[in-house]
Structure 1
Amino acid sequence: MTPAPSAPRYVFLDVDGTYAHHGEVPPGHERVVRAARVNGHRVLLCTGRPKSMLPDQIRAAGFDGIVASAGGYVEVDGEVLRDQRFPAELAARAIEVLDRHCAAYLLEAPEALYGRPGVDRRLGELLDGHFGRGRGADGAASPLEILKALETPDDLGSCSFAKITYFGAAIPWPELGAELGDQLGILPSSIAAMGESAGEIYLRGVHKALGIEAVTAHLGVPREDVIAFGDGLNDLEMLEHAGTGVAIEGADPRVLAVADLVVAGPQVEGLVEGFARVGLV
């Protein structure tokens, strides 16, 4: 293995498709995170999920902080550095558009998920094998386990949230995005089988690199000491910003194009090789 560098590095890990596979963290990934921290490096999760959708099994290795909600929420050593939510007008517009097009959606906040009554049942129906209850046939954790944080208040208009994930909309995501307006961004779902009926809605201009900048400014870290690992379109800014950007095999070509290195996916414990190649372990 490559010797660990003498200067500490600051590592930012995307969760789904990078650190975890179908919600499960491979043992090798947990092992190299622990080893990198023993070697003096700091490792943080950097995910599109809100903090409320990061169960214990994802965080079990121990992390120095979290960049969640795709950069909207940042926490380091238990201190919250950033917590950006939708302004009330944009929140109301997004809810109205999603309701009008019969989408099943989750309003994502650090403290909870918010949705209409019955949204958990509808998600189960829409996602079938992806979001089946209990554990899957292969023993993997059910993605619906994240709904333990779900609340269904009578008035969603009173909810404060940072991002939205939706499924089953009656129109394709590009058309839905046009109705949302230019202050909100939209990305297709990372679950390819959902096609154009699903996606993520976020505040335009908020992305993971902003979250990383909040961490590095707080800790006084130079950009060249940042190493980021990711596979999704919401990782583009993060990989471009990092001193070393590492993409996962099979990622979108736009993600691969901005990466300095490419490693295998979590289904074969690709971060074991990845951490070695950048000298963390």
Structure 2
Amino acid sequence: MTGSSPRTVFLDVDGTYADHGTVPPAHAAAVRAARRAGHRVLLCTGRPVSMLTDHLLDAGFDGVVASAGAYVRLDGAVAEDVRFPADLAAGVLALLDAHDVAYLLETPDAVYGPVGTDVRLLRRGAAAPPEIADVLRMPGDLSGVSFAKVSYFDSPVPLDVMRAQLGSRIGVLPSSYADTGTGSGEIHLAEITKAVGIEIVMRHLSSPLSDVVAVGDGHNDLEMLQCAGTGVAVEGAPPGLLAEADLVVPGPAGGGVAQAFERLGLLG
């Protein structure tokens, strides 16, 4: 499977480009080589940009789709920054607090949690990304925080029940992190997906979605593989994601991104 025309590649981060924040050297090298060959490469992640460390960005990227499509930055300029409307934000916080769910409100500048969130994260050990500690804020009153997405954990409420209680304007997905357990998930605006962010980028570039290569491994990657001209899934991804894939590659430990770039003819 090869191709020499310029493509725009969107890479999920956790479980795809990186493993618990660690980027394999082969993945960074593949990104640099693809960009030298004239292709654009962007990260497309559920993380907010506040949790994208210098190490994750070190290979150099043409932009970022963050917060699972709510935030888009292309060539250094912010093209989209969608936040929860005030009424929906208040409803989400009220439900989470009523059930004593631990949560992080994700923004481009920081992540915010109730007082004691740091202790609850510490109890989880390696399951919590270390990048959170540097950007976590716990001001006490969260009512004024304007957020794009919520990550939650330690929930006594099953995901389906959470989804039903929040209503149709809000989406709830299992966590992007494979080791966070059944009491974890992500809350987002129902109309916002990674595909929305990709479409914004491609409109700015005046390029068709057929030129898109999307690589991912999680539940929040489904729409981006569906909209892409070429979809790449990581081994062990959810069945629905694997069904959408044109190509399946190993995870970060097996250098899957580098393999995908080579098989798709992106390395020059």
Please, what TM-score do these two structures have when normalized by structure 2? 0.96
Per-residue CA deviations over 1:4-53 (Å, capped at 9, x if unaligned) read 60x21100000001000111000000000000001111100000111001
Pairing 1:4-23 to 2, within 5 Å after superposition: 5=4, 7-23=5-21
1:111 matched residue in structure 2: 109
Q: Which residue of 2 aligns with 1:274?
A: 260
Q: Give the Cα–Cα distance (whole angstroms) in 2 for the partners of residues 38 and 123 of structure 1.
A: 40
Q: Which of 221, 235, 240 is 2:207 aligned to?
A: 221
Q: Which of residues 152, 156, 164 in structure 1 aligns to 2:150?
A: 164
CA–CA distance in structure 1, aligned partners of residues 100 and 195 of structure 2:
32
Give how far 1:123 is off: 1.2
Task: State yes or no: 1:177 paired with 2:177.
Answer: no
- TM alignment of 1:222-261, pairs within 5 A: 222-261=208-247
Between Structure 1 and Structure 2, how many residues are aligned? 267
| AA of the residue aligned to 1:64 | D
Determine if contact 2:171/2:190 at 8 Å carries over to the other structure. Answer: yes
Opposite residue 9 of structure 1, the aligned amino acid is R
Between the two proteins, what is the percent identity of the paired residues? 56
Q: CA RMSD of the aligned region, Å?
A: 1.3
Change (3 A) 1:29 1:38: same
Secondary structure at the counterpart of residue 13 of structure 2: coil
Aligned to 2:60: 62
> What SS does the aligned partner of 1:159 have?
coil
**Stretches of structure 2 lacking an aligned partner (at least 5 in a row):** none
d(CA) in 2 for partners of 1:185, 1:55: 27
Supply the AA of the counterpart residue of 1:130. A
Query: What's the TM-score once normalised by structure 1's chain length?
Result: 0.92
Matched, 1:146 2:132: yes
Determine if contact 2:17/2:23 at 8 Å carries over to the other structure. Answer: yes
Unaligned segments of structure 1, at least 5 residues: 132-142
Secondary structure of the corresponding residue to residue 213 of structure 2: strand
**Please, which of 187, 194, 204 is the counterpart of residue 208 of structure 1?**
194
Could you tell me whether the CA contact under 8 Å between 1:228 and 1:244 is conserved in 2? Answer: yes
Q: State the one-letter code of the partner of 1:172.
A: P
Q: Assess if the C-alpha contact under 8 Å between 1:236 and 1:255 holds in 2.
A: yes
Aligned to 1:134: none
Alignment equivalent of 1:38, drawn from 36, 39, 46: 36
- For residues 228 and 252 of structure 1, the distance between their equivalents in structure 2, rounded to whole angstroms, comes to 16
Give the whole-Å Cα distance in 2 for the aligned partners of 1:246 and 1:235: 10
Deviation at 1:193, TM superposition (A): 4.5
Provide the secondary structure at the position in 2 that maps to 1:81: strand
Q: Do the aligned residues in 1 keep the contact of 2:235 with 2:251 (CA within 8 Å)?
A: yes
Query: 1:145, CA displacement in angstroms?
Result: 2.6
Q: Equivalent of 1:85, from 69, 83, 86?
A: 83
Q: Is the contact made by 2:127 and 2:179 (CA closer than 8 Å) also made in structure 1?
A: no
CA displacement 1:107-147 (0-9 Å, x = unmatched)? 0011111111220111111x22323xxxxxxxxxxx12333
- Does structure 1 conserve the Cα–Cα contact (< 8 Å) formed by 2:127 and 2:180? no
**Counterparts in 2 of 1:34 and 1:194: CA distance versus 1, 3 Å:** closer
